[in-house]
């Protein structure tokens, strides 16, 4: 049961312009590497392309030397990009991204239940559950 987020005929909306017209793929195998995703009972990698905003790139090219340039690259899994997608596509995204890693949607729901539910056991019970489920696979 692998999920492949591949958009061969479309690109995501630009993080800054909110349109697809200015977006091109800069690096299909994003050199910053994949994100490690921890699901309830397995671990997998999520690798999204690196995109560029051609409008911002052109704007930067016209700036005088020495003037601070605006960033014009963004990741396909950037939360700003995902938030702009239609709900029926956004809801298929398999993970909740954290600063450096990610949680599978199933694990994120379990964490929410453990922390938000009275008597849910808190983060310690979630951590214990994750360790048990992942150690069973080893």
Using alpha carbons, select from 41, 137, 36, 10 the residue that is nearest to residue 95.
36
Q: Report pLDDT digits (tens) over 47-91.
A: 888 899 999 999 999 988 889 999 999 888 888 888 887 888 778
Name 44's bridge partners: 37
Confidence grade of residue 39 (pLDDT, cut at 50, 70, 90): very high
pLDDT for the residue numbered 33: 77
Residue found by looking up tokens 């599978």 in the block? 104
């Amino acid at each position: 049961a692998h999920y492949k987020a591949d958009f061969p005929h479309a690109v995501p909306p630009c993080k800054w312009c909110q349109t697809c017209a200015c977006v091109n793929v800069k690096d299909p195998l994003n050199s910053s590497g994949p994100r490690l995703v921890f699901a309830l009972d397995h671990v997998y990698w999520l690798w999204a392309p690196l995109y560029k905003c051609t409008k911002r790139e052109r704007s930067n090219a016209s700036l005088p030397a020495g003037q601070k340039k605006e960033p014009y690259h963004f990741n396909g899994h950037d939360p700003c990009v995902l938030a702009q997608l239609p709900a029926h596509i956004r809801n298929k995204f398999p993970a909740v991204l954290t600063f450096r890693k990610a949680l599978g949607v199933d694990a994120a729901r379990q964490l929410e239940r453990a922390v938000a539910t009275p008597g849910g056991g808190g983060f310690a019970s979630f951590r214990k559950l994750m360790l048990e489920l992942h150690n069973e696979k080893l």
